[in-house]
């Protein structure tokens, strides 16, 4: 039988696994790997905005979170059946330097290339930027729409 002292020592050796903490650790490691592989100018930072991609019966919809980005600093294009969203979130510069205790906001250039899952009518695509969310709607091509086939 183990003593109370031995049980206490065993409990201190165990750590609680946090899946979200693990995801954050992997993201930091990936960012560090990219920093080593992609040389950049000093101080230049990159980030990738979060996106949702879904389709309705009629169209593909892509929503990208771009808080703090101005509409003028965003460019959207479609090439080789892929949607490209790129731009820049510029850092707010102030002459007076405050004492920062934490800096988590990300600034810099960004680019996301999203393969389109179905054929689309690229010429009819439209985009709207509202409240920090870029919404792109791309109508599906006729051949990409689902068609029910009657079984005889």
**Strand extents, DSSP E, the chain:** 46-47, 51-55, 59-65, 74-79, 82-89, 108-115, 126-130, 133-139
Collapsing DSSP states into helix, strand and coil, what is residue 47?
Answer: strand
pLDDT in tens, the chain (152 residues): 666 655 555 555 566 777 777 887 887 788 777 666 665 555 555 678 889 999 998 999 999 999 889 999 999 999 888 999 999 888 776 556 677 777 777 778 888 899 998 888 889 999 999 999 999 999 998 775 666 778 86
What pLDDT was estimated at residue 38?
62
Sorted by where each begins, the domain ranges of the chain are 43-144
Measured distance CA(100)–CA(107) in Å, rounded: 16
Task: Write the CATH number of the domain with boundaries 43-144.
Answer: 2.60.40.790
pTM: 0.62
């Amino acid at each position: 039988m183990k003593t109370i002292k031995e049980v206490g020592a065993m409990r201190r050796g165990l750590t609680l696994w946090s899946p979200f903490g693990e995801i954050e650790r992997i993201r930091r490691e990936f960012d560090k790997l990219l920093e080593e592989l992609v040389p950049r100018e000093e101080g230049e930072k990159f980030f990738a905005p979060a996106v949702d991609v879904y389709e309705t019966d009629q169209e593909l919809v892509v929503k990208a979170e771009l808080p703090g980005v101005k509409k003028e600093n965003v460019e959207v294009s479609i090439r080789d059946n892929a949607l490209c969203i790129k731009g820049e979130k510029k850092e707010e510069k102030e002459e007076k330097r405050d004492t920062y205790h934490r800096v988590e906001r990300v600034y810099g250039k960004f680019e996301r290339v999203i393969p389109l899952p179905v054929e689309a009518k690229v010429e009819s695509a439209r985009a709207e930027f509202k409240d920090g969310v870029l919404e792109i709607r791309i109508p599906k091509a006729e051949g990409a729409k689902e068609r029910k086939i009657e079984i005889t």
